[in-house]
Structure 1
Amino acid sequence: MEHLKRIKRELAYKGTLINIYKDTILIDNDRETTYDFIEHHGASAIIPIDKDGNIIMVRQYRNAIDDYTLEIPAGSLNQGEDNMTCAMRECEEETGYKPLKAEHLIDVHTTVAFCNEMIKIYYSDDIVPSKQNLDDGEFINVERHSLDELISMIYSGKITDAKTVAGLLALKHKLFYK
């Protein structure tokens, strides 16, 4: 097994949600290679479950893939915010439902090959109607689906978002083995 050591990190781009770096890596104290690295400051997601057992999902346009996706509500941490608070805030902002409590479900590194983004995923079956409060430039349609319907969408390729796939499958496992 080769020994790898980062010997240099150069900031290539500083953004509001991410920073992009060029890393120089020393391999076996012998040769160098470079990697692109995207630094993300953390995010949270939540699976809101209504009183009928349906999951409240958000459908939104994602520029990176130039398509609409069906996802669990999620967003980046605000400065000084803990992950559970972030998940509950994002749920209310995106869906118009406020979780009164939430439970941790799973943590997911979304793209380990080039990014350190970690999304902590929660779920809540204790939600109350509130008011949707979308960010500027955010256009979201709210949908309700059964867990079984969403699992079918995963296996048919209609849901491909990593946090959503991981979260829904983890929830199915948790409920099945409760």
Structure 2
Amino acid sequence: MIINVKEKDFEFNSSSLSQRCFEPLIKIYKVRMSEETTIGVKEHFYEELTEGQRALFMFNVYSNHISKSLIEFYWWSAYFLAQPKIWASIKSCFTYFHDEPFLLLLEKIEQELKRHNHPTTLENFAITRDELNDNNELHASFESLYAIFENIYPTTIEKINTFIEKNLQEFIQIEK
């Protein structure tokens, strides 16, 4: 699903390139979700994307949810881990963008959640945001993981923007 963008409407400032390539995708996604009632709409949308768009979409889905606070970082990580296909897609996006530090962070998050017996399917998912504050050990480990996230996130954004700039045809089509 290559998005066509008029050259005059597209600024090539690489600091926000990933966001500008993501915005049309999320708009299409939201329209489809509001119009479609059939099962599989999400999967069909995802299948239409190029490999680069999939990586960008999953990066934004994950980072937009987890970046708000420590509690959101914890809860959304647990929620996505409980959906194996989504968790695998999140991990593969960092492989696609060659972001080893973020991939290692995801591995640590996964290990920590499993160590505390968090569910790996939605069938048994009853995790609340309060659980982070109720478990001192879990809280301390996620504080450490969130600090890593905050430290590596700016570099991740830079890597993704640089990657998109070098592979623009994988994300959008510039029209004259």
- TM-score (norm: length of structure 2): 0.22
CA radius of gyration, larger in: 1
Calculate the TM-score normalised by the size of structure 1.
0.21
Q: Compare the two structures and name the one with the higher strand fraction.
A: 1
Q: Which has the higher contact order (CA 8 A, sep 6+)?
A: 2
User: Which structure features the higher share of helix residues?
Assistant: 2
